[in-house]
Amino acid sequence: MADKFRLTLAQLNPVVGDLAGNIAQARAAHAAGARDNADMVALPEMFATGYQTTDLGRKPAFVSDVIARVEALAAELTDGPALGIGAPYLEGTDLYNAYWILDGGRVAAVVKKQMLPNDSVFDEHRVYTPAEPQGPVSIRGWRVGIPICEDAWHVGPTETLEESGAEMLFVPNGSPYHRAKHERRMSHMVSRVVESGLPLVYLNMIGGQDDQIFDGTSFVLNPGGALAVLMPAFDACIQTVEFAREAQGVRCTSDEKVTLPSDYALDYRAMVESVRDYFAKTGFKKALLGMSGGVDSALTATIAADALGSENVRCVMLPSEYTSPHSLEDAEACANALGCHYDYVPISGPRTAVTETLAPLFAGTEPGLTEENIQSRLRGVLLMALSNKFGEMLLTTGNKSEVAVGYATIYGDMSGGYNPLKDLYKMRVFETCRWRNANHDPAWMKGNAGEVIPVRIIDKPPSAELREDQKDEDSLPPYEVLDDILERLIEGEQSVADCVAAGHEFETVKRIENLLYIAEYKRFQSAPGTRLTTRAFWLDRRYPIANRWRSA
What does DSSP assign to residue 186?
A: H
Closest by Cα among 99, 87, 9, 8 to 48: 87
Angle at the Cα of 442 from the Cα atoms of 437 and 443, rounded to 5 degrees: 130
Flag whether 293 is marked binding. Answer: yes
Q: At 300, is the secondary structure helix, strand, or coil?
A: helix
Please confirm, yes or no, whether 149 is among the known catalytic residues: yes
- The tally of CA atoms less than 13 A away on the side-chain side of residue 405 is 22
Flag whether 510 is marked binding. Answer: no
Q: How far is the C-alpha of 57 from the C-alpha of 403, rounded, in Å?
A: 31
> Letter for the amino acid at 511?
R
Q: How far is the C-alpha of 226 from the C-alpha of 88, rounded, in Å?
A: 33
Q: How far is the C-alpha of 434 from the C-alpha of 54, rounded, in Å?
A: 37
Count of residues for the chain? 552
Flag whether 291 is marked binding. Answer: yes
43 neighbors 86 (Cβ within 8 angstroms): yes
In sign, the C-alpha dihedral spanning 43, 48, 52, 58 is: negative
Instruction: Note the pLDDT tens digit of each residue in 394-450.
Output: 999 999 999 999 999 999 999 999 999 999 999 999 999 999 999 999 999 999 999
Closest by Cα among 206, 219, 131, 221 to 175: 206
211 neighbors 539 (Cβ within 8 angstroms): yes
Flag whether 181 is marked binding. Answer: yes
Q: How far is the C-alpha of 414 from the C-alpha of 528, rounded, in Å?
A: 11
**Active-site residue, from 112, 149, 150, 487:** 149
Question: Judging by DSSP bridges, how do beta strands 227-230 and 219-221 pair with one another?
Answer: antiparallel
User: Which residue spans within 165-218 are E strands per DSSP?
Assistant: 168-173, 200-204, 206-209, 212-215
Please confirm, yes or no, whether 491 is among the known catalytic residues: no
Q: How far is the C-alpha of 43 from the C-alpha of 8, rounded, in Å?
A: 9
pLDDT at position 474 is 75
Flag whether 522 is marked binding. Answer: yes
pLDDT at position 423 is 97
pLDDT at position 299 is 98
Q: How far is the C-alpha of 50 from the C-alpha of 86, rounded, in Å?
A: 9
What does DSSP assign to residue 149?
A: G
* For the chain, domain boundaries: 4-260, 264-469
Determine whether 242 is exposed, middle or buried from the number of CB atoms within 10 Å of its CB (0-12, 13-18, 19+): middle
Which strand (E) or helix (H) includes residue 229? strand 227-230
Flag whether 295 is marked binding. Answer: yes
Q: At 337, is the secondary structure helix, strand, or coil?
A: helix
Q: How far is the C-alpha of 139 from the C-alpha of 144, rounded, in Å?
A: 7
pLDDT at position 67 is 98
48 neighbors 26 (Cβ within 8 angstroms): yes
Maximum distance among all Cα pairs of the chain, rounded to whole angstroms: 91
Please confirm, yes or no, whether 422 is among the known catalytic residues: no
Q: How far is the C-alpha of 198 from the C-alpha of 253, rounded, in Å?
A: 14
End-to-end Cα, the chain, rounded Å: 68
Q: What architecture is the 264-469 domain classified under in CATH?
A: 3-Layer(aba) Sandwich (3.40)
SS in 3 state form for 395-449? ECCCCHHHHHHCCCCCCCCCCCCEECCCCCCHHHHHHHHHHHHHCCCCCCCCCCC
Beta bridge partners of 249: 246
pLDDT at position 461 is 83
pLDDT at position 469 is 72
Burial 432-467, CB ≥16 within 10 A → b, else e: bbebbbeeeeeeebbbbeeebbbeebbebebbbbbb
Strand order in the sheet with 200-204: 137-139, 142-145, 168-173, 200-204, 219-221, 227-230, 256-257
pLDDT at position 109 is 97
Domain 4-260 falls under CATH 3.30.70.270 = no
Residues of the chain under the 70 pLDDT cut: 1, 465-467, 470
- The tally of CA atoms less than 13 A away on the side-chain side of residue 301 is 35
> Letter for the amino acid at 438?
A
Q: How far is the C-alpha of 215 from the C-alpha of 217, rounded, in Å?
A: 6
**Active-site residue, from 112, 113, 400, 422:** 113
User: What is 1-14 written as a DSSP string?
Assistant: --SEEEEEEEE---
pLDDT at position 301 is 98
Flag whether 145 is marked binding. Answer: no
Flag whether 397 is marked binding. Answer: yes
